[in-house]
Each structure stands twice: as structure tokens, then as C-alpha cells.
Amino acid sequence: MTAHTHDLGGRPAWAKDAVFYHIFPDRFARSERVPQPSNLLPWSSPPSQEAYHGGDLLGVAERLDYLADLGVNAIYLTPIFQSACNHRYHTHDYKQVDPLLGGNAALRELIEQAHAREMRIILDGVFNHASRGFFQFNDILENGPHSPWLDWFFVEDWPLSAYDGSLPANYCGWVNNRALPKFNTDNPQVREFLMDVAEFWVREYDIDGWRLDVPPEITTPGFWEEFRRRVRAIKPDAYLVGEIWREAPQWVRGDRFDATMNYVFAAAAIAFCAGDRVSRTLVEGRSYDPYPGVDAVQFGRRIERLLALYDWETTQVQFNLLDSHDAPRVLSIARGDKATLRLATLLQMTFPGTPSIYYGDEIALPGAEDYDGPHRDHDARRSFPWDDEASWDHEMLEYFRRAIALRHAHPALCHGEFKQLYADNRQYVFARSNESETLLVALNAGDEAAELPVATDEFFAQDRARKPIFGTAPPANVNGGRATLSLPARAGAVFSA
């Protein structure tokens, strides 16, 4: 994609119109064009901490038509560089795509095919830590204090114990994980190495941005500011997203990231849409707060606080997810309640920001977490059941298609102002408006049908009934600057003014 569009505030304009699809490559799709080792799990096997299902990037490329039909126009890939783990957050070589994923040629084909369809691709950058197999660290394991790479990491004592947990590791690993030796980014050579990696994939492969893993862990002054300057010098509209789970306005002021992974939005959306269905055991002790459930007034307060935290240009490109490879799926959090997923998705597609769908949510793929007992892995990382369409929820798939199409069809949902109109009990209504249109989004998270009197005098010029443009609600009756919205239980609707 040769055209670069970016606003004066430095946020990429294309991100406002993007609908992302978040892919965990080992579990999304296999291609027959990628040679497969013999010792892979059968595709339909449950997730495993150590084993591989063998998904690859050509498998993603071969499913681009499916994604385009869904309405997706951007893809976020979790790490793809050479690594000895199925999630690939243990990087061995930062300039080589993992051979199980098809190598560098597969990434180039995927990007070219995606760009031909006007789809963007962002990659996952894991720059706080490497792996025991990373060349410079492996040299330390081989040569001890004689290694020339000692000051690339934080060696504390000898001997190093990279694998025997009964002995002290004697080096710093991220969250004390000896599999993830932490980089010394205060070392100018390390810093330059990582900057070069960031530039390489933008310059040589035309990626459209980076999602940056655990960025607050890198405390070297100026690191992320330099990262932004150097990436943007090559591609002025590269989209930079930081994996920060909490409120973080200081990270998105224009000098570091464009957006955070907006788990604050996810938590509020789930707490409201699921209510008392939220599984406490799945979300307790996490870095976001979807428990306990909240009513519409509490939800409105959380949304008002969220919107007040960031300037409007940032809000419009915040990476608004509902779940991810690091969190239980919404469907599982809500104990299998599909209405929660539908309500949350409608909210996500009509709320300011850049929505991101986690692969498989559109077919109601289940997935919790900690499913594998002592070998901790996320059941949210199940393989996509391409060969078992009978297991798909086709009604959910069609709902996602229509909700995404609604967003694409109405610029007010991507660029328009936001105003809360009604919040009471389990019902919430807001407006999105620009100079040419106004849409009212109404959500009933309650277990009974509800009739909502909503003041709309600034939006509706004429008294008449208006049919919803999305949802199955009856027409809204407008009279004297007040609309009466009738909503079925556990349902949402959108009305055009």
C-alpha cells in the first residue's frame, strides 16, 4: 500500500476506519504449501503449552477472502519470528519468520495479498526480552564470563542456570521467568539492534505498524520516543499500539504510541453486557476488571471516565478489544451466554475507537483459560475449526458481518462525536453524530423487555416512527423531542436520525 494518510496529531487516519482481526498464527489455519514436521498435534486437538498445531502464514493468506467477507480490513498477528514455543514470545531470531509459519517468503506473500485487498497488517514486537535460544544469550550460556555479549543482559552471578529450576538462574528474566532473559536496553548496542529490527520489517516488508509487548518494562529513557521517530520516518502512518492493560494517558500523548490495547473498554463492556453472568473464577486477579457486573449507571460512569482520559484523536484510534490470546473469551466469561457476545460486539462496533475481533469469536468459538492444569495455557487459543463448519454458530457469524457492515456504512460510527443519552437499570443509549448523520445505539442488557423514554430533541427534527437500521426492535416513536424505544430482552438496536 503506497498511500500514507495521517492526521496532524500523528495518529494514522486509516486506523479510525479499521476493523482488526487478531490472529494467533499456530491455531488459525494450515496451508498445504508449508512443509509440516511429523510431530504436530492433530488440528482439532485441545491447546497445549508445548506442542504445535502447525498453523502458518500461508494459511492466513488463503483465508483472506473469508476475512474480507466478514468485513475485516486489518490484521494483528501475535509474534511470528523464529522461536521455540508455539506462542513465539521467546524470540530466537528477530529477522527470520519461524519456518513452521512458512518463513520470510510466507510473510511477504501474506502482506502483498492483504495489501491488494486494502487490508493492513501489524506485527507483534517483543523487545523487552529474548529467549535462551537468542544467539547473544546462548553465547553467554556457552562461554560464561568470557562471552562478548555479557552486557546485553543482566547477569548477576555464576554459574547461570537456564533450565534447572532448583538452582538460582543468576540472571534477570521477565517476571523471573528464566526462559525470557531481559534485554539491557541501556546498552546502546542493544538499543540499536532493536531499533534496526523495528525499521527492517517496516522498510523491507511494508508492515503497517507494531503492537508492542509489555512496553512499560522497558524503562530506558527515550527508548519508545526513538522507536516512534524511527518507524514513522519510514512510514508516517504506521500504527503503534502498546500492550498496556490499565489507564495510560501518558503513553499516548503523541510521542510514543497511538493507542493502547484498550482492556479498560473491554472490562466495562463485559461487566455491563454480561452482568451477573461473569465468571469470577475466570477473571479474578487479572490486569483488567470485568468483575463484578455493573448496571447502566455504573457503566456510563466508567465510559465517561474512559473518554475523559484521552484526547479525542487518541480515543478514535484506541485498540478496542473484547478478548485476546491473553484473556478468556467473552463467551466463556459469560458462561456460554451468546447474548452477551452479541451485545458487546454491537457496542464495540458502534463505540469510538478501532475495534479488534479475536479470531473465532465470530463463530462463537469457546475458550476459557488455565484449562491444561499445571501446564498453564489458554483454552482461548483453540484451533479454528475450518473442517467442522457444523460446529460454527452461523447466526453469530451473520451477526458479526452485519455489525461490521454497519460500522463501515456509517462514517459517524468511525469519526462522529459520542454523547450518552440514557442510562438506567440495565439499559443504555448513546448517540454518534457527524455533520451528515446521527445514529442512536440502544442496548438492553436486562432479562426483560424494556421501554426507554429518551430525550432526542437535538437529533430528531420531525415527529414520526423510525424503524431500526440494525436489530429487531419495533420502530421508535418520536414525539415532542422524546423518543420511546422498545427493546427486547438482552438485545440492542440502532436507529438513524
Amino acid sitting at position 269: A
Residue 205 shares a structural domain with residue 343: yes
Residues 358, 452, single domain; the answer is no
Using the 3D structure, point to which of 377, 409, 441 is the last residue of a domain. Answer: 409
Looking at 409, 437, 461, which one is the last position of a domain? 409
21 φ, ψ (degrees, to nearest 5) = -125, 120
Residue 317 lies in a domain: yes
Residue at 441: amino acid letter: V
| pLDDT value for 479 | 86
Distance CA 405, CA 8 (A): 28
Does the structure show a pLDDT above 90 at 367? no
Query: Phi/psi at 23 (nearest 5 deg)?
Result: -115, 130
Position of cell 452482568? 275
**pLDDT tens per residue, range 11-35:** 999 999 999 999 999 999 999 999 9
* Domain that includes residue 111, residue range: 13-128+185-409
Shared domain for 345 and 472, answered yes or no, is no
Residues 246 and 378 in one domain: yes
Q: For residue 128, which of 191, 189, 49 has the smallest C-alpha distance?
A: 191
Q: Are residues 242 and 369 in the same domain?
A: yes
**109 labelled catalytic:** no
State which of 360, 390, 409 marks the end of a domain.
409
Q: Is 194 found in the same domain as 72?
A: yes
In the numeric block, the cell 492466513 is attached to 60
Measure the CA–CA gap between 234 and 340, rounded to whole angstroms.
Answer: 42
Alpha-carbon separation of residue 484 from 178, 264, 365, 446, 448 (angstroms): 60, 31, 36, 17, 16
Query: Can you give the pLDDT at residue 83?
Result: 98
Q: 191 with 333, same domain?
A: yes
Q: How many CB atoms lie within 10 A of CB 104?
A: 20
CA distances from 226 to 182, 223, 230, 255, 258 (A): 20, 5, 6, 9, 14
The enclosing domain of 426 has a CATH number of 2.60.40.1180
Active site includes 255?
A: no
Q: What is the pLDDT of residues 176-228, one digit of tens each?
A: 999 999 999 999 999 999 999 999 999 999 999 999 999 999 999 999 999 99
Give the CA diameter of the chain. 83
Q: Rounded to 10 degrees, what is the CA torsion of 444, 291, 358, 24?
A: -170
Burial group, residue 68, by CB count within 10 angstroms (0-12, 13-18, 19+): middle
pLDDT of residue 457: 77
Domain match, 314 and 436 both? no
pLDDT in tens, 28-58: 999 999 999 999 999 999 998 899 999 999 9
Phi and psi, residue 306, nearest 5°: -60, -45
pTM: 0.96
**pLDDT, tens only, 341-354:** 999 999 999 999 99
Spot the catalytic one: 243, 337, 361, 362.
Answer: 243
Of 213, 258, 326, 361, the catalytic one is 213
Q: Are residues 207 and 232 in the same domain?
A: yes
pLDDT at residue 5 is higher than 90: no
Whether 431 and 459 have beta carbons less than 8 Å apart is answered as yes
> For residue 372, what pLDDT band results from cuts at 50, 70 and 90?
very low
Q: What is the pLDDT of residues 124-177, one digit of tens each?
A: 999 999 999 999 999 999 999 999 999 999 999 999 999 999 999 999 999 999
Question: Strand, helix or coil at 473?
Answer: coil
Is 161 among the domain residues? no
Structurally, how many domains does the chain consist of?
2
C-alpha dihedral sign at 218, 219, 224, 230: negative
> Per residue in 408-432, pLDDT tens?
999 999 999 999 999 999 999 999 9
**DSSP β-ladder status, 120-125 and 74-77:** parallel
Residue 2 has pLDDT above 80, yes or no: no
CATH assignment at residue 330 = 3.20.20.80
